[in-house]
Structure 1
Amino acid sequence: MKSPKEVLRDWVAAYNARDPYTLIDLYHDDAINHQVAFGDPLQGREALLESFIAFFNAFPDNYTHPENIFEDGNWAIIEWSGGGTFLGELGGNAPTGKSFTLRGCGFFQIVEGKICFQRGYIDKYTWFRQIGLPVS
């Protein structure tokens, strides 16, 4: 069975390939993803898959560069930098064609080789300002 760090490296590879189906295979059926800047967490593979598809459609050139990956017990933690260009609709917002670069971190609880919980932190204000969306 893969270590949490290895699962996270697989996650980064699938994310950078913008492959939502390979990405979702890394999650437990009832996984929770809480992106703190966006409020309530998503739960379950169907909701997560829909969010990945929407994000990759909105940012088809999205990328994430791991700066550090740590492992502690059944947790893997990533510090990352990334970016992309807002080229498709996202959450009812029309694309602006503007690009972003951003830094953030994510925490992944991995049980039996699958992600069961994820929490991510980004600066929503900086991201939305760069891509031309109002910050609420």
Structure 2
Amino acid sequence: MQSWVETFNRGDAIALSNFYSEDAINHQVANSPFVGKIAIREMFAAEFSQTKMTCLIENIFLDGDWAILEWKDPLGLRGCAFFHIHHSKIVLQRGYWDKLSFLRMHNLPIPD
């Protein structure tokens, strides 16, 4: 998880996608799910091109094949991500955070 966060903070979508299995699912509940390593890489690339994001670790919990990351960012947004890991690759990620607050904090357009 520490390496995932470091890679995320560098904004490296290609390296970040290498943490995921070929058929992984990344579902940030404020968005539709992205299925497959390529779609996940493209999602991260699009997000990193919009704004600088920084993940500060508050807690990491591990339980078998599951990891939970509680995070915050320098602007005060907080969230939580659940990772299911199989054979050292992420097969499922679910993230919970306030998208409206994120968009406002980064001065990004708010969809209708």
Identity of aligned residues (%): 43
TM-score (norm 1): 0.75
Partner of 1:28: 21
Q: Which of 65, 72, 78 is the aligned partner of 1:81?
A: 72
Structure 2 unmatched ranges of 5 or more: none
Indicate the SS of the match to 1:128.
Answer: helix
Shift, 1:135, TM fit:
5.6
The answer to whether the 8 A contact 1:129-1:135 is kept is no
Cα RMSD (Å):
1.5
Indicate the SS of the match to 1:121.
Answer: strand
Shift, 1:125, TM fit:
2.3
Q: Which of 83, 97, 112 is the aligned partner of 1:122?
A: 97
The answer to whether the 8 A contact 1:128-1:135 is kept is no
Q: Using the alignment, how far apart are the partners of 1:82 and 1:63 within structure 2? A: 6
Q: Which of 44, 49, 52 is the aligned partner of 1:57?
A: 49
Q: Which of 80, 104, 109 is the aligned partner of 1:133?
A: 109
Q: Using the alignment, how far apart are the partners of 1:129 and 1:58 within structure 2? A: 13
Structure 1 unmatched ranges of 5 or more: 1-7, 84-99
Instruction: Supply the AA of the counterpart residue of 2:103.
Output: F
Q: Which of 45, 55, 61 is the aligned partner of 2:37?
A: 45
The answer to whether the 8 A contact 1:70-1:78 is kept is yes
